[in-house]
Amino acid sequence: MISSSSCTFLSNSGLGGPSNNFSGAQRRVSGPFRVCCMAPPSNRTGGGDRNGSIVMEVETKATPLKEIRSDSAVADVDDNEISAGGPQDVYGEDRATEDHFVTPWSVSVASGYTLLRDPHFNKGLAFSEKERDAHYLRGLLPPTVIPQETQVKKMIQHIRQYQVPLQKYMAMMDLQERNERLFYKLLIDHVEELLPVVYTPTVGEACQKYGDIFMRPQGLYISLKEKGKILEVLRNWPEKNIQVIVVTDGERILGLGDLGCQGMGIPVGKLSLYTALGGVRPSACLPITIDVGTNNEKLLNDELYIGLKQRRATGQEYAELMHEFMSAVKTTYGEKVLIQFEDFANHNAFDLLEKYRSTHLVFNDDIQGTASVVLAGLVAALKLVGGNLADHKFLFLGAGEAGTGIAELIALEISKQTNAPLEEVRKKIWLVDSKGLIVSSRKETLQHFKKPWAHEHEPVKKLVDAVNQIKPTVLIGTSGQGRTFTKEVIEAMSSINEKPIILSLSNPTSQSECTAEEAYTWSQGRAIFASGSPFPPVEYEGKVFVPGQANNAYIFPGFGLGLIMSGTIRVHDDLLLAASEALAAEVTQENFDKGLIFPPFTNIRKISAHIAAKVAAKAYELGLATRLPQPKNLAEFAESCMYTPAYRSYR
Ligand SMILES: NC(=O)C1=CN([C@@H]2O[C@H](COP(=O)(O)OP(=O)(O)OC[C@H]3O[C@@H](n4cnc5c(N)ncnc54)[C@H](OP(=O)(O)O)[C@@H]3O)[C@@H](O)[C@H]2O)C=CC1
Ligand SMILES: CC(=O)C(=O)O
Ligand SMILES: [Mg+2]
């Protein structure tokens, strides 16, 4: 095992170490430091404040006037020009002159009442006697001292007492706001139980009701009102060493459609998995929602709606805001910040990925992460059904981001395995959209991402007819439409195949193409089934079937960790294939015996470390990794870099 000191590079740049971005002298002190924005800055020259906090230093962060001018010309500024100065000069400090605006960030030691209310440093009753003395906590806590393990036991009992999933979600969010380390310890220790609470399906309901349950803002909101000022908005975020941003514009939240600004639950949820499942430090994670309006009438008419009450901006207005955002992120956080696009509608998702994949470290989870996970599941499933990937025929219900993303990665993998041209391989893969089977006679009217899948065939409207005519071995649901794998469809799959592979990927549970019970019952216990949102085990004719969860949550945390720890600057398809191979290798015989084609989430941190190692190794091989020299044992290195939620001792 590598000692934590071998991860100094990452500690300093943010992965495993304490939250800071200060000079060496301050970094050595292990007190509960806070960075805060003070006004007016001239008062903050040192000494104690009312709450016993000691102001250690006043930092001045300069903002060149040119970069924050509020006209729309910012969007036209060349990327290189706007990024001038680079990551070492993120606030323009190096070139600050008297005519530059500055943000008066200051550093203080949190203590007393303030410390108890700081989620990053609060430990509740776990503060030791010594810490209670040193940090002005006497009398602010009842006398007992209890360890974090006991707090976890108490919290899980507390969460379990709620019957309604949304109440569990709110209790978890409340904990995250009060005591971040306890939140992550609880989530990691009870990952199988709590994943459905902080993630799909409950996060979907939370987004739908975000306006009602909204207590404290989480993440960063960038709306059309901030056009021309996005650099300033990013500078309002208190953490400086950001390594992963998950961003949505809320237009396709799970299979629930346009939830506008309320989509914020998704970046918040995804990033909590980056930390819990992938070990990326919470302060290095930044959830962002871009608010360009919503076309959801219900929200537009809801007085509690938290977003802009206007219809969605499109075309140039949308593109300009996104471009300003992308440029500002690079200027503020540098070349190596990972930007994960999440739950954009497909008419923007493919274009954004294409536009920024050569200039930024971008990754679309719905297109690419999902593809990597599903390919892993299919490769694992071959152990149960036999043959190679190339021996199979695939049919999708849904030809959007997830459907065509998965289809393309399967085709790429088969093409690599068989040396057959991609165009030939694609003929094994068929997709159905809302208008029926995608066939060549529809080519002219198809969106660009569907065109490669328009094969020669007569038009077919119904899925069951497509199944009977194409005779697929694998059926994948990516339609966002619940109960579309009907009894007829599953019976047709089961009459064609001894062991039909049926993946019902749409989220949340209400949108799943079928339930686990339906898949096992209608296939008479022969289906190899996995779903995007979890289903409980099913008993059929005396045998218990455990459905797996085919969700991109298996990949993105480890994938992101691999990129970050290797300093990778661009995402390449081979990195997705590497992640997929790593995940498939984690499925054990014991899992197969239960019919599982994905490993359980219980061991996900180990799995993420292996995924990270494979992704990083491939990045080094392709010359995309900038962290040199390459660590000798990448899996050990990945583990040594992972954030652990155990409380730190304060001197
Ligand atoms: N398990 C996982 O990890 C993931 C799951 N998903 C889930 O997949 C679903 C789809 O996401 P995404 O691909 O991004 O969405 P898109 O909107 O990009 O694609 C949806 C596709 O489904 C088609 N469709 C809609 N209704 C029907 C219908 N009744 N019959 C046939 N096809 C239909 C649409 O057709 P048309 O083009 O004609 O409109 C479109 O091609 C969502 O529920 C999402 O939650 C997504 C990512 C990851
Ligand atoms: C899982 C996921 O990313 C989705 O359903 O959109
Ligand atoms: Mg998604």
- The per-residue pLDDT for 214 is 80
| Ligand found nearest the CA of 195 | 2
Q: What value does the mean pLDDT take over residues 533-538?
A: 96
Angle of CA points 325, 330, 334, to nearest 5°: 155
User: What pLDDT does 428 receive?
Assistant: 98
Tokens of 20: 């800071």
Q: For ligand 1, say whether the CB of 534 is within 6 Å of any of its atoms.
A: no
Residue 400 · residue 367 · CB < 8 Å? no
Average pLDDT, the chain: 88
**110 or 398, which is more confident?**
398
Q: Is the pLDDT of residue 81 over 80?
A: no
Would you say residue 77 has pLDDT above 90? Answer: no
Q: Which of 91, 169, 184, 199 is catalytic?
A: 199
> Averaged over 512-532, what is the pLDDT?
98
Percentage above 90 pLDDT, the chain: 81
pLDDT of residue 3: 38
Annotated catalytic residue, options 61, 240, 270, 336: 270
Which ligand 2 atom is at minimum distance from the Cα of 505? 5
Rounded to whole angstroms, the Cα distance separating 159 from 124 reads 17
Is residue 133 annotated as involved in ligand binding? no
Higher pLDDT, 489 or 55: 489
**Residues 376, 453: contact at Cβ < 8 Å?**
no
Quick: pLDDT tens for 138-157.
999 999 999 999 999 999 99
| Range picked from 30-34, 71-75, 237-241, 633-637 for highest mean pLDDT | 633-637
- pLDDT higher than threshold 60 for residue 60: no
DSSP state string for 178-193? H-HHHHHHHHHHTHHH
Question: Smallest Cα–Cα separation from 100: which of 62, 146, 154?
Answer: 62
Low-confidence winner among 151-155, 439-443, 593-597, 646-650 (lowest mean pLDDT):
593-597
**DSSP at 126:** G
Look up residue 182 and give its two tokens. Answer: 């306890």
Q: Which residues line ligand 2 (CB under 6 A)?
A: 200, 254, 343, 365-366, 507, 532, 551-552
* pLDDT > 70 fraction of the chain, expressed in percent and rounded: 86
pLDDT, residue 24, reads 32
For residue 439, what is the DSSP state? Answer: B
pLDDT of residue 251: 98
The Cα 624–Cα 616 span in angstroms is: 9
Average pLDDT over residues 535-540: 96
Q: From CA 290, how far away is CA 568, in angstroms rounded?
A: 26
Mutate to test the pocket of ligand 1, among 433, 438, 465 (most ligand atoms within 8 A of CB): 433
Is 296 among the annotated ligand-binding positions?
Answer: no
For residue 501, what are the CA distances in angstroms to 265, 477, 494, 527, 547?
A: 32, 11, 9, 6, 12
Whether the link from the prior residue into 600 is cis, omega within 30° of 0, is no
Contacts 24+ apart (CB under 8 A), 293-299: 293/224, 293/260, 294/250, 294/258, 294/259, 294/260, 294/261, 295/258, 296/257, 296/258, 296/259, 296/260, 299/211, 299/258, 299/259, 299/260, 299/262
Q: Which residues contact 154 (CB under 8 A, 6 or more apart)?
A: none
Position 94 confidence tier, pLDDT thresholds 50, 70, 90: low
Do the Cβ atoms of 513 and 506 come closer than 8 Å? yes
Looking at residue 205, its pLDDT comes to 97
Q: How high is the pLDDT of residue 104?
A: 80
Residues 6+ apart with CB under 8 A from 217: none
Q: Is 66 a catalytic residue?
A: no
> Is 50 exceeded by the pLDDT of residue 42?
no
Question: What pLDDT shows up at residue 211?
Answer: 86
Q: Is 364 in the pocket of ligand 1 (CB under 6 A)?
A: no
In this predicted structure, the answer to whether residue 381 has a pLDDT above a threshold of 80 is yes
How many A from CA of 479 to the centre of ligand 1? 3
The mean pLDDT value for 446-467 works out to 98
pLDDT, mean of residues 607-614 = 98
Average pLDDT over residues 593-603: 94
* pLDDT tens-place string over residues 229-281: 999 999 999 998 999 999 999 999 999 999 999 999 999 999 999 999 999 99
Contact of 365 with 253, CB cutoff 8 Å: no
Task: Report which of 120, 131, 103 is spatially closest to residue 40, judged by C-alpha positions.
Answer: 103
* Residues 31-43, mean pLDDT to the nearest whole number: 62
Per-residue pLDDT at 111 exceeds 50: yes
Q: Is the pLDDT of residue 347 over 80?
A: yes
Q: How many residues does the chain have?
A: 651
Q: What is the mean pLDDT of residues 349-375?
A: 98
The pLDDT assigned to 97 comes to: 62
Q: Read off the pLDDT of each residue in 59-63 and give the average, rounded to a whole number.
A: 35
User: Given a cut of 60, is residue 5 above it in pLDDT?
Assistant: no
Q: Is the bond leading into 508 cis (omega within 30 degrees of zero)?
A: yes
Task: Tell which atom from ligand 2 comes closest to the C-alpha of 532.
Answer: 1
Judged against a pLDDT cut of 60, whether residue 73 lies above it is answered with no
- Confidence class for position 63, pLDDT limits 50, 70, 90: very low
Instruction: Render pLDDT for 561-586 as a digit per residue (tens, 0 to 9).
Output: 999 999 999 999 999 999 999 999 99
The C-alpha atoms of residue 406 and residue 392 are separated, in whole angstroms, by: 14
pLDDT of the residue at 26: 33
- SS3 assignment for 473-536: CEEEECCCCCCCCCHHHHHHHHHHCCCCEEEECCCCHHHCCCCHHHHHHHCCCCCEEEECCCCC
| Least-confidence region, from 47-56, 572-581, 589-598 | 47-56
Q: Mean of the pLDDT values across residues 14-30?
A: 36
Q: Is 91 a catalytic residue?
A: no
> What's the 131 CA to ligand 2 centre distance in angstroms?
42
- The pLDDT-based confidence of 102 (bands split at 50, 70, 90) is confident
The answer, yes or no, to whether residue 61 has pLDDT greater than 90, is no
Distance CA 212, CA 583 (A): 38
C-beta atoms surrounding 158 within 10 Å: 13
Nearest atom, ligand 1, residue 551 CA: 3
**Which pLDDT score is estimated for 631?**
97
Average pLDDT (437-465) is 98
- Of the candidate ranges 5-14, 93-102, 189-198, 412-421, the one whose mean pLDDT is the lowest: 5-14
Contacts of 161 (CB under 8 A, 6+ apart): none
Nearest CA to ligand 1 atom 28: 434
- Residue 172: other Cβ atoms inside 10 A: 23
What's the whole-number mean pLDDT along residues 520-547? Answer: 97
CA distances from 561 to 4, 251, 449, 602 (A): 16, 27, 29, 18
